[in-house]
Amino acid sequence: MNAALKKYAVITLGSLLYALAYDAFFAAGQAAMAGVTGLGQILHRLFPVLPVGTVVILLNLPLFFAGWRLIGRELLLSSLYSMALSSLAIDALSALADFPALEPLLSALCGGALMGLGLGLVFSQGATTGGTDIAARLLKLRLPWLPMGALTLVPDGLVLALAAVVLGRIEAVLCGAVALFVSSRTLDAVLYGLDTAKAAFIISDRWEELNQALLTRQGRGVTVLRGSGGYTAREKHVLLVAFRQREIVDIRHIVRDLDPGAFMIVCSAWEVLGEGFGDVRKEAL
């Protein structure tokens, strides 16, 4: 499949899931929505004649105009497509389908997960659905070490605070906060993967044997670092190895079998890229 066609197919799927999440869970479950879609929801409550999707498009245009110089032409085009499709789909689904009302908390959990999945698919292709997603993308340029899910919490949280004032229903806002948290976690899971990576630092006098065992039995690359003891000043060799969460038991067994007295530190690694892990992509967030 052509790369551009595949990209827009994924964006289309993500945008439609986003619209479905809003109509089937947020609107039907009376849960407050975050982001520009939340602003559209608020205006729709105040002025029922205004369709949510149409309002979202009108609110998004100034944000796209403000951000296009920083986000570039390709991101602008793909994001405009995603924003327009998701917004129009919200109005179309609302007119065509009558979704049953669910318990508010259940709506928040399911809606947040589905929305996070949709956003993750869109973001994975280097696009956004507009609105506070654009704001989060601009923040990402300034704060590249923060994950996208965390960055979306900032502008979305402000919208929820406004919803608390306008809607006057604290339970709807609390459910919206739950949905926002679930959505951000799902978004990060789609972008960065569910299989959390680990990194281990192993200090051992039998470092050569451990190095060989990790290379042959575990199939993991090992980096040998040189260090020295702070108290003894003796030269030490430190093995640095990255591996997946599911491999931690085997790593521990190898170290325990070869050198029970080894000193090992295991750290969580948010994202590991390169040989044996994910590829480094230019549009990665």
Q: Which of 79, 158, 72 is nearest to 119 (CA)?
A: 79
Q: 237: domain range?
A: 197-269
Residues facing 241 on adjacent strands: 200, 222
Bridge partner residues of 236 (DSSP): 227
Tokens representing residue 67 in the block: 């951000």
Task: Compute the distance between CA of residue 112 and CA of residue 95 in angstroms, rounded to an integer.
Answer: 22
Tell if the pTM clears 0.75, that is, is over it.
no
Greater confidence (256 vs 283) lies with 256
Same-domain pairing of 229 and 90: no
From 140, 164, 192, the end of a domain falls on 192
Range from 51-55, 195-199, 242-246 that averages highest in pLDDT: 51-55
In whole angstroms, give the CA distance from residue 186 to residue 192. 10
Final residue of a structural domain among 137, 162, 192: 192
**Rounded to an integer, what distance in angstroms lies between the CA atom of residue 273 and that of residue 150?**
20
Do 174 and 223 belong together in one domain?
A: no
Residue 279 lies in a domain: no
**Same structural domain, 53 and 35:** yes
Please count the residues of the chain. 285
* Residues 262-283: tens digit of each pLDDT: 999 998 776 666 655 555 454 4
247 and 106 share one domain:
no
Tell me the C-alpha distance between 241 and 210, whole Å: 11
Average pLDDT in the 183-190 region?
84
Indicate if 101 and 136 belong to the same structural domain. Answer: yes
**Partners of 228 in beta bridges:** 235
Tell me which residue of 100, 106, 86, 94 sits closest to 12, measured CA to CA.
86
Whether the pLDDT of residue 211 is over 50: the answer is yes
Residues 241, 178 share a domain:
no
Same domain, 21 and 140: yes
Mean predicted confidence (pLDDT) in 76-81:
85
Amino acid in the structure at residue 250: D
Looking at per-residue pLDDT, the higher value among 273 and 107 belongs to 107
In angstroms, rounded to a whole number, what is the distance separating the alpha carbons of residues 218 and 247? 8
For residue 282, the model assigns a pLDDT of 46
- Fill in the DSSP letter of residue 125: T
Q: Residues 87, 156: contact at Cβ < 8 Å? A: no
Q: Are residues 152 and 188 in the same domain?
A: yes
pLDDT reported for residue 69:
66
Q: Please, are residues 1 and 10 in contact by the beta-carbon 8 Å criterion?
A: no
**Tokens found for residue 271:** 């994202």
Largest CA distance in the chain: 77
Q: List residues bridging with 202 in a β-sheet.
A: 239, 264
Residue 75: is its pLDDT beyond 70? yes
Does 166 share its domain with 28? yes
Contact present, 237 and 226 (Cβ < 8 Å): yes
Counting the structural domains of the chain, the total is: 2
Proportion of the chain above pLDDT 90, given as a percent: 19
Nearest to 111 by CA among 152, 196, 122, 103: 103
Q: In what order do the strands lie in the sheet with 222-228?
A: 222-228, 235-244, 197-203, 263-269
CATH number at residue 258: 3.30.70.120
Compute CA distances 40 → 37, 48, 61, 107, 197, whole Å: 5, 11, 13, 19, 39
Per-residue pLDDT reduced to its tens digit, 214-233: 888 777 788 899 888 887 88
Check whether residue 137 and residue 245 sit in a common domain. Answer: no
* pLDDT tens, position by position, 130-167: 777 677 767 777 777 777 667 767 777 788 878 777 77
For residues 210 and 109, membership in a common domain is answered with no
pLDDT at residue 177 is higher than 80: yes
pLDDT at 13 over 90: yes
